[in-house]
Amino acid sequence: MFIVGLTGGIGCGKSAVTDCFATLGVPIIDADVVARAVVEPGQPALREIVEQFGTDALLPDGTLNRAWLRGHIFSNPDAKSTLEGILHPRIRSEMHRRLDEFDTPYAIFSIPLLFETGQDKGVDRILVVDCAPELQISRVARRDQANEAQTKSIIASQIDRKSRLAKADDIIDNSGTLDDLRPMVEHLHQKYLKLAP
């Protein structure tokens, strides 16, 4: 199946774009959703995380302590690499397993860290959702109640905007409203239907 890899910086509106594609009947396989599924209680990834990082990685109810883990890997590059080694192969495998459930001309892999994790090599086309950095910061502040410094550090940890745009096959400028977005998605949908074998 023809796979479109969709990515973009935090706060650029990737979810709004995938929601528009979904209303057109396009399967969306979201790496963030899959990442949550592979660390549910009973999953091998969660057991391996506890083996590597200890029981601090768990909440009292046995689920992953995301806040603790985020803080731990943020200050420890080796821990980050270890965690990625546990999660990324499982996320990739599960995304492809889910893809097999669909019989459509194309599907979208929504992967925030598409380039950073090397997954751009496993898709047929790259769609980047973009907007101005100031808009990213204000959207994230509104959505996550995050302060500007936190948001800027997240943006800095992602591939820079110029490099991301340079690697894109297609770009959606998501600076406007949902009404502005829909025709752009519809145009790309028709394009992808033609490109799909």
Please check the confidence at residue 149 and state whether its pLDDT lies above 90.
no
> Which of the two residues, 169 and 138, has the higher pLDDT score?
169
Angstrom CA distances, 161 to 40, 128, 137, 164, 171, stand at 33, 10, 14, 5, 12
Tokens of 55: 């029981």
User: What confidence tens digit (pLDDT) does each residue in 44-83 have?
Assistant: 999 999 999 999 999 999 999 998 998 888 778 899 889 9
Q: Which of 72, 101, 130 is the last residue of a domain?
A: 101
pLDDT at 57: 94
**Mean predicted lDDT score pLDDT of the chain:** 92
> Which of the two residues, 112 and 141, has the higher pLDDT score?
112
Please check the confidence at residue 121 and state whether its pLDDT lies above 80.
yes
Please check the confidence at residue 153 and state whether its pLDDT lies above 70.
yes
Tell me: do 82 and 150 sit in the same domain: no
pLDDT at 146: 64
- Average pLDDT (7-28) is 95
- Average pLDDT (20-42) is 96
Tell me: do 9 and 55 sit in the same domain: no
Tell me: do 95 and 172 sit in the same domain: no
Using pLDDT thresholds of 50, 70 and 90, give the confidence band for residue 102: very high
Q: Burial-class residue 108 by CB neighbours within 10 Å (0-12, 13-18, 19+).
A: buried
Tell me: do 115 and 194 sit in the same domain: yes
pLDDT at 63: 95
The CATH number assigned to the domain holding 17 equals 3.40.50.300
Question: What's the number of domains the chain is made of?
Answer: 2
14-18 own/partner pairs: CB under 8 Å, 24+ apart: 14/110, 14/112, 14/129, 16/174, 16/178, 16/181, 17/127, 17/129, 17/172, 17/174, 17/181, 17/185, 18/108, 18/110
- Average pLDDT (131-152) is 79
Q: Which of 80, 101, 122 is the last residue of a domain?
A: 101
Please check the confidence at residue 8 and state whether its pLDDT lies above 80.
yes
Tell me: do 109 and 158 sit in the same domain: yes
- Average pLDDT (148-157) is 75
User: What confidence tens digit (pLDDT) does each residue in 74-100 have?
Assistant: 778 899 889 999 999 999 999 999 999
User: What confidence tens digit (pLDDT) does each residue in 155-189 have?
Assistant: 777 889 999 999 999 999 999 999 999 999 999 99
